Amino acid sequence: MSSDNSKLRSYGAAMEHGQPFIRLRLDVKEPIELTDFVSTFTSVAAEYERFIKTERPDRPGEATLFVKEVRAGSIIADLIPFLATAGGADTIVKVLDGANTVAEFVEHYGGRLSALLKPGGRVEGAGKGELKDFYDQVAAVAATPESTLEIAAFEIENGAYKAKAAFKFDTSQAREIRERVEEQKVLVDHKSGANHARVLMVFTRSDVRSQAIGKRSGELVKIETLSPKSLPLIYASELAEQQIKHEITEAEDNVFKKGFVVDVSAEIRSGKMIAYRVTELHQVIDLDDE
């Protein structure tokens, strides 16, 4: 790296040269866990690098994160891209292009997180790594009542800060995003397991309590076409859970005398099935007493 570029590594130098940047403002009324605090800011840096690689591969993907201000109830951090590109005759062109890029990123990122606020919402093409970053992004706000996080793209024009794009979410929205992320992670995990359509599942142990989607329930089921053993049941669909739980808690018939025609994905570890993830219920049938 040249000596000129090295001089731009400081926060003050970047601001002096008018570098566009992404600002994160976390407002909280209670203390937050250190790991959640760190994840809130580092996850957006990871998402920015991912955005550059996939959406703008012709642009530098390097960025540096600075904690600008920490005070009671508020933490502000700035993510400054393109620190290595400032300086030289084409500085103005690069800064203007950088301002457009950070605005595009914030709009892109806000749109992907907003997709998770819809019932059953999914982020198209998101893999495990990106889903983890989404989860980490909202962790502090989800865990802290009455907190908010705002992410905005800024440019510096004649010494004044100008917001070009922004989005914000609160505790309630963060918890919704977190739930949708967990649901999508389950669907992504299915791709690595064996899928089985319309198999007959019977209960060998039931439980009226509910667990979060993607977590093991207290129930055991047997699918004889797949294994002679009873295995733990995991609900991978809210609708399937609601339908099956209705049969357990409200229907008059004994659940152990019923068969459930379901789609399942087998969770496999070391080559062995260790649980069933039910994704859809097609039919409930009465079993013969024999």
Please report, for the chain, the start and end positions of each structural domain, with discontinuous segments joined by +. 3-189, 193-286
3-state secondary structure 131-162: HHHHHHHHHHHHHCCCCEEEEEEEEEECCEEE
Residue 86: CB atoms within 10 Å: 21
**How much is the CA Rg of the chain, to the nearest whole Å?**
25
If one compares 207 and 138, the residue with the highest pLDDT of the two is 138
List, as one string, the DSSP characters of 224-254.
Answer: TTT-SSEEEEEE--HHHHHHHHHHHHT-SS-
pLDDT in tens, 182-238: 888 776 665 555 578 899 999 999 887 777 787 888 899 999 988 889 999 999 888
Structure tokens, 183: 């649901």
Half-sphere exposure at residue 233, Cβ-oriented, CA atoms within 13 angstroms: 31
Nearest-angstrom CA–CA distance, 259 and 145: 43
Please tell me what DSSP assigns to residue 206: -
The single residue listed with the structure tokens 């079993």 is 287
Token match 């570029």: residue?
5
pLDDT at 112: 94
* Residue 136 clears pLDDT 70, i.e. is over it: yes
**Residue type, position 58, single letter:** D
The strand pairing partners of 200, in sequence order, are 261
Give the separation between CA 59 and CA 28, rounded to whole angstroms: 35
Across residues 7-36, what is the average pLDDT?
Answer: 82
Q: Find where tokens 């510096």 sit.
A: 156
CA-closest candidate to residue 22, choices 83, 91, 105, 95: 105
DSSP 8-state symbol, 287: P
C-alpha distances out from residue 230 to 44, 88, 195, 273, Å: 42, 69, 18, 10
In this prediction, residue 190 carries a pLDDT of 56
**pLDDT per residue as tens digits for the range 239-269:** 889 899 888 888 777 889 899 999 998 887 7
Mean pLDDT, rounded, for 172-185: 89
Q: Show the beta-strand stretches assigned E in the chain.
A: 21-27, 63-71, 74-81, 148-157, 160-170, 194-205, 216-222, 230-235, 258-269, 272-286
